[in-house]
Amino acid sequence: MKQNFYSNTAKMAREIYEFLEHEKKMNMDIQKRMEELRTENDLLRRILEFESGVDIQTIADHLKKSAALEVPLISTESDSETCSEHKSLVDRDEQSTPREQKTVVRSPILN
């Protein structure tokens, strides 16, 4: 009876450990995905800032140039200014981007 109790306790402890490890992995995956979405959001925001009619090659060239000038995401301890710049970029990404409401003019012929 006592041996059975210890065996069941060990099984429960192992299952709890596996659950916590799974939860930890899921949290890490979510954090990684959030960072990917921030990057995608920033890229899309930059694309939307271009005037309409600009060709895709001009946009791509501009994005490549700006990517080369980006602040590195990993900073050293002596580089506190870079760290604060990265924090401001992250804070900016977490704010929503305002968009203008465009009115649609419908042709009276289509009504």
Residue 39 sits in which domain range?
Answer: 1-46
- The answer as to whether 85 is a domain residue is no
Q: Would you say the pTM of this structure is higher than 0.75? A: no
As a whole number of angstroms, the distance between CA 58 and CA 47 comes to 11
pLDDT in tens, 48-71: 888 777 788 888 888 888 776 654
Q: Tell me how many domains the chain contains.
A: 1
CA distance 111 to 109: 6
Domain annotation covers residue 59: no
Mean pLDDT score across all residues of the chain: 75
pLDDT greater at residue 99 or residue 111: 99
Question: 19 or 92: whose pLDDT is higher?
Answer: 19
The verdict on residue 77 lying in a domain is no
64 — alpha (psi -120 to 50), left (phi > 0) or beta? Answer: alpha
89 belongs to a structural domain: no
- Span 67-96, mean pLDDT? 52
- Indicate if the pLDDT at residue 75 is higher than 80: no
